[in-house]
């Protein structure tokens, strides 16, 4: 497994490298945030260990950038990369900042080796398809805690790379790995060629065969790579027991400490110059050295030294230092010198064993709704209705409980009763907190009032939808369902056509745990009507049917204008080159030989789905700004209007125009204009909820769709965006600062139009009047540049 460490303290980085290498991890180190991000852009990693106090770009910002990064074809899983923050900052506020930024775990320096490695194993387990500490495949067992491997009762002696290969396969037992994938996971900078992978695979197969495993225990999958094969019973042999890595780790840590002892003395000398010579120019540097020592010393067994360094850091943070503080600082430094001159303890303090929860990945999780209310009658009615809708319900009555629940076990949606708290300000503060710590969780607000000011407050603080508390409970649940449908990912649909009913049932069981919605058909004569009804993401066809061939069905699909891009996988019992050629000539994307091996079929289907997702992303996204394009947003906006008809909710449509973009192109060049549009699109994405629709319709024109929002609420949201835009300057590729603004018109469905075309025209008319008003009055006021469709200016026109 490949781990990236971003740590500016060389001593701590070397210690981490020593520990992790001894546990068979491939480790790379970056000394600052920018270098770390560059490595993440270039290579794929299984885990990121991140210091907070980094130069230039701190760890919190690095964490945020990793989480907000868009997946790419060669690194689709980077935004979900497990992140472990490793820092000397230990206050609850610092922990909250790190976890809110997207970190998965938080370890305070000085760290205990046993606890750190256990937490790393836990994070890797969560990220992989295996949930148990002991990795098993038939008679093979691998214990990540002790790095021991055995087949049956026979231990296996493996090289570090052979161990890494086996662990990679076991943690991803259903996945097929190409040579390139294996190189990315197991090697650092000095990656060899693919021939080295084949050599290690060959050596591992020979060792497994020597202890009784089948010769094809690690199987070659034609055209893809390697994977584990289901095992049969095998004879057991005996061998020697592998030695523990614990003594080796401690020996290597001792060598690291010896090589860096002089560096530690230099760091202490900088602090002494402040304490003894009153060299105040070094106070900032001394504070940083103390912070570094607080994290590093405990790693090598100097627990007391780490605490002393932490106390020194706190004293140095005061400005200016009083005589009493200087005296205390000198005493602490003298104690620190005595402590580090004593050999580090041979065994680090043992922390309680961390036992992570074991997740059942095959279990389908029901949507969980967090309800914030103290109204007993309302809660009783709601809970009864939740049972009918198959939703899980959690109730909270205090703001503190809400934040804790969202951080520990994030719900699918929050339902907030404004009457739960004494004042509206408390409710709004909670809404703001939810947006800061759990911005992806949609919030529906219930209110007993129907005032514009309250609606504006809810909109400003991130509420997704506002309902009257008198709304019938079934309608409330209907609104919850609609919001969840927009917020939750839709499972990919697979249509399998085969006349063997037993095989169809088996494939349903095999594919469903992977989050795939499987539809089966055993009568090929109903193929076309089923295809149009299901509208699958991948089509799986048997090669032979009683009346016609699967190849013919594939050709029918390829000849249709609507379906000709649908991925098709052929199932065949024939593996002759002539049959394979016919399959691909008919337009199939892939084939799987019968008898079907589950892991191979899953790997090929997931591969097709990933390509479909990337193609859709290209087709649905404006390449310059990264927001939706006109075609995709039109479909989504039409869906908004249909949903509005069912739930009787308003929809606001805003048309936005970047002012004077032609002047920017004329003065700075079209590349500068493109840079302005790109940054403006990013600003819009940051300013609106994930359920809102943000799109570019061409040139400098953008369109925003806001569900459950009135035209007045929409104007308020756009005014906030304009204020943010006025507070920051956009830059060209050459670093030149460009100040831009925008004008907008907002229309409301259904009051200003019964269809999208009419709504767009109405909002565009308001936009043109806003531009004219601003030019005639030479006004810089935000209100003059954003007009609702029902304003006096628009109505008079």
Q: Please write the tens of the pLDDT for every residue from 511-542.
A: 877 778 899 998 999 999 999 888 899 999 99
Is 604 within 8 Å of 174 (Cβ atoms)? no
pLDDT at 652: 94
Cis peptide before 107 (omega within 30 of 0): no
pLDDT at 319: 67
pLDDT at 345: 43
CATH 3.40.50.2300 is the classification of domain 368-451: yes
At a CB cut-off of 8 Å and minimum separation 6, what does 446 contact? 373, 415, 416, 417, 418, 466, 467, 468, 469, 471, 476
Is 439 within 8 Å of 478 (Cβ atoms)? no
Strands of 31-112 (E only): list them: 47-50, 83-87, 105-108
Cis peptide before 595 (omega within 30 of 0): yes
pLDDT at 656: 95
Mean pLDDT, range 769-783, rounded to an integer:
70
At a CB cut-off of 8 Å and minimum separation 6, what does 287 contact? 313, 316, 317
291 pLDDT above the threshold of 80? no
How would residue 634 be classed by pLDDT, with cut points 50, 70 and 90? very high
In this predicted structure, which of 190-194, 552-556, 637-641 has the lowest mean pLDDT? 190-194
Give start and end residues of each alpha helix (H) in 243-394: 246-277, 283-296, 303-316, 323-341, 376-389
Most confident of 389-393, 440-444, 503-507, 621-625: 621-625
434, 437, 442, 447 alpha-carbon torsion, rounded to 10° = 0
Report how far residue 284's alpha carbon sits from residue 295's, in angstroms, rounded to the nearest whole number.
17
Do 2-111 and 246-341 show the same overall fold?
no
pLDDT at 794: 53
C-alpha distances in Å from residue 767, one per residue of 72, 436, 758: 36, 32, 14
* Cβ neighbours, 10 Å, residue 39: 18
Report how far residue 214's alpha carbon sits from residue 235's, in angstroms, rounded to the nearest whole number.
10
Q: What is the pLDDT of residues 67-88, one digit of tens each?
A: 877 665 555 556 678 999 988 8
pLDDT at 145: 64
Cis peptide before 246 (omega within 30 of 0): no
Mean pLDDT, range 758-785, rounded to an integer:
79
pLDDT at 743: 92
Quote the crossing angle between the two packed helices 424-437 and 92-100, to the nearest 10°: 60
Higher pLDDT, 372 or 172: 372
Tell the residue number behind the tokens 């690095």, with chain if given.
62
CATH pick for 2-111 out of 2.40.160.10, 3.40.50.2300, 3.30.565.10, 3.40.50.1980: 3.40.50.2300
359 pLDDT above the threshold of 80? no
Mean pLDDT, range 102-107, rounded to an integer:
85
Higher pLDDT, 230 or 400: 400
- Return the H-helix or E-strand segment holding 552: helix 550-558
pLDDT at 253: 62
- Dump the DSSP string for 290-308: HHHHHHHGGGGT-HHHHHH
β-partners of residue 494 are 518, 538
Q: Tokens for 463? A: 């509420």
pLDDT at 339: 85
215 pLDDT above the threshold of 60? yes
pLDDT at 235: 31
Higher pLDDT, 175 or 204: 204
Higher pLDDT, 717 or 259: 717
C-alpha distances in Å from residue 479, one per residue of 406, 438, 445, 485, 750: 21, 20, 11, 10, 18
pLDDT at 696: 95
Higher pLDDT, 504 or 185: 504
The residues spanned by each domain of the chain are: 2-111, 135-228, 246-341, 368-451, 493-620, 630-796
Nearest to 560 by CA among 587, 592, 521: 587
Mean pLDDT, range 349-359, rounded to an integer:
28
pLDDT at 128: 56
pLDDT at 298: 66
How would residue 693 be classed by pLDDT, with cut points 50, 70 and 90? very high
Mean pLDDT, range 51-79, rounded to an integer:
77
CATH 3.30.930.10 is the classification of domain 493-620: no
Q: What is the chain's mean pLDDT, rounded? A: 79
pLDDT at 355: 26
Q: What is the pLDDT of residues 303-313, one digit of tens each?
A: 788 888 888 88
At a CB cut-off of 8 Å and minimum separation 6, what does 353 contact? 118
Can you give 608-657 as a three-state secondary structure string? Answer: HHHHHHHHHHHHHECCCCCCECHHHHHHHHHHHHHHHHHHCCCEEEEEEE
Q: Which value, in Å, is the radius of gyration of the alpha carbons in the chain?
A: 31
Length of the chain: 797
Mean pLDDT, range 545-560, rounded to an integer:
89
CATH pick for 135-228 out of 2.60.40.2550, 2.40.340.10, 2.120.10.30, 1.10.10.10: 1.10.10.10
**CATH code for the structural domain at 246-341:** 1.20.120.160
Report how far residue 379's alpha carbon sits from residue 376's, in angstroms, rounded to the nearest whole number.
5
654 pLDDT above the threshold of 70? yes
Helix, strand, coil share of the chain (percent; to 5)? 50, 15, 30
Report how far residue 154's alpha carbon sits from residue 161's, in angstroms, rounded to the nearest whole number.
20
678 phi and psi, to 5 degrees?
A: -65, -45
Mean pLDDT, range 50-60, rounded to an integer:
87
pLDDT at 382: 82
Higher pLDDT, 548 or 598: 548
pLDDT at 72: 59
Q: Tokens for 552? A: 């013919």
Mean pLDDT, range 441-453, rounded to an integer:
81
415 pLDDT above the threshold of 50? yes
Fold observed for domain 630-796: Alpha-Beta Plaits (3.30.70)
């Amino acid at each position: 497994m490949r781990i990236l460490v971003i740590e500016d303290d060389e001593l701590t980085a070397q210690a981490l490298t020593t520990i992790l290498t001894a546990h068979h991890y491939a480790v790379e180190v970056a000394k600052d945030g920018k270098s770390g991000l560059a490595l993440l852009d270039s290579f794929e990693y299984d885990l990121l260990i991140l210091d907070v106090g980094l130069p230039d770009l701190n760890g919190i910002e690095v964490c945020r950038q990793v989480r907000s990064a868009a997946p790419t074809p060669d690194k689709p899983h980077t935004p979900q990369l497990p992140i472990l923050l490793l820092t000397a900052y230990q206050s609850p506020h610092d922990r909250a900042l790190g976890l809110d930024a997207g970190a998965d775990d938080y370890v305070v320096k000085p760290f205990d080796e046993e606890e750190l490695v256990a937490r790393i194993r836990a994070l890797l387990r969560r990220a992989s398809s295996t949930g148990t500490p002991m990795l098993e495949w038939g008679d093979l067992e691998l214990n990540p805690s002790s790095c021991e491997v055995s087949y049956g009762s026979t231990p296996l002696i493996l090289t570090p790379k052979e161990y890494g290969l086996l662990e990679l396969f076991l943690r991803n037992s259903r996945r097929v790995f190409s040579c390139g994938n294996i190189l990315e996971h197991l090697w650092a900078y000095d990656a060899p060629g693919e021939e080295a992978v084949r050599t290690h695979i060959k050596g591992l197969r020979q060792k497994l065969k020597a202890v009784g495993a089948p010769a094809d225990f690690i199987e070659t999958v034609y055209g893809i790579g390697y994977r584990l094969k289901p095992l049969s019973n095998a004879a057991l042999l005996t061998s020697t027991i592998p030695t523990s890595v614990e003594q080796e780790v401690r020996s290597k840590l001792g060598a690291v400490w010896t090589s860096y002892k002089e560096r530690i003395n230099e760091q202490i000398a900088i602090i002494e110059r402040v304490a003894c010579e009153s060299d105040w120019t070094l106070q900032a540097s001394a504070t940083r050295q103390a912070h570094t020592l607080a994290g590093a010393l405990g790693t090598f067994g100097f627990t007391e030294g780490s605490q002393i360094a932490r106390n020194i850091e706190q004293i140095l943070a005061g400005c200016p230092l009083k005589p009493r503080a200087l005296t205390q600082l000198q005493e602490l430094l003298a104690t620190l010198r005595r402590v580090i001159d004593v050999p580090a303890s041979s065994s680090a303090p043992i922390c309680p064993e961390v036992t992570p929860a074991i997740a059942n990945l095959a279990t389908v999780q029901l949507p969980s709704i967090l309800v914030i209310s103290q109204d007993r009658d309302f809660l009783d009615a709601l809970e009864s209705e939740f049972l009918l809708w198959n939703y899980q319900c959690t109730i909270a009555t205090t703001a503190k409980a809400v934040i804790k629940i969202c951080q520990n076990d994030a719900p699918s949606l929050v339902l907030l009763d404004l009457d739960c708290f004494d004042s509206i300000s408390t409710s709004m503060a909670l809404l703001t907190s939810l947006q800061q710590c759990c911005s992806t969780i949609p919030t529906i607000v219930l209110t007993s009032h129907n005032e514009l000011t309250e609606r504006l407050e809810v909109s400003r603080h991130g509420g997704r939808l506002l309902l009257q508390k008198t709304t019938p409970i079934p309608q409330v649940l209907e609104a919850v369902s609609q919001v969840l449908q927009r917020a939750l990912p839709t499972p990919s649909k697979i249509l399998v056509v085969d006349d063997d009913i037993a095989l169809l049932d088996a494939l349903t069981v095999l594919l469903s745990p992977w989050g795939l919605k499987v539809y089966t058909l055993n009568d090929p004569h109903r193929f076309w009507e089923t295809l149009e009804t299901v509208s699958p993401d991948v089509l799986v066809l048997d090669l032979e049917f009683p009346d016609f061939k699967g190849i013919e069905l594939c050709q029918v699909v390829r000849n249709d204008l609507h379906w000709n891009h649908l991925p098709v996988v052929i199932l065949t019992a024939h593996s002759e080159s002539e049959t394979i050629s016919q399959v691909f000539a008919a337009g199939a994307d892939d084939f799987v030989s019968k008898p079907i091996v589950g892991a191979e079929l899953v790997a090929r289907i997931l591969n097709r789905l990933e390509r479909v997702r990337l193609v859709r992303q290209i087709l649905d996204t404006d390449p310059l700004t990264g927001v939706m394009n006109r075609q995709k947003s039109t479909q989504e906006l039409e869906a908004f209007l249909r949903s509005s008809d069912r739930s009787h909710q308003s929809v606001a449509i805003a048309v936005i125009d970047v002012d004077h973009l032609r002047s920017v192109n004329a003065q700075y060049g079209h590349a500068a204009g493109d840079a302005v549009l790109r940054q403006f699109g990013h600003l819009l994405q940051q300013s609106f909820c994930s359920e809102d629709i943000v799109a570019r319709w061409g040139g400098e024109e953008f369109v925003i769709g806001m569900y459950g929002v009135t035209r007045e609420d929409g104007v308020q949201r756009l005014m906030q965006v304009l204020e943010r835009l006025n507070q920051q300057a956009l830059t060209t590729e050459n670093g030149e600062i460009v100040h831009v603004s925008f004008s907008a018109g907002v229309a409301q469905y259904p009051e200003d139009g019964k269809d999208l075309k009419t709504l767009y025209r109405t909002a565009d008319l308001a936009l043109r009047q806003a531009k004219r008003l601003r030019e005639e009055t030479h006004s810089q006021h935000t209100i003059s540049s954003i007009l609702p469709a029902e304003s006096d200016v628009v109505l008079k026109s």
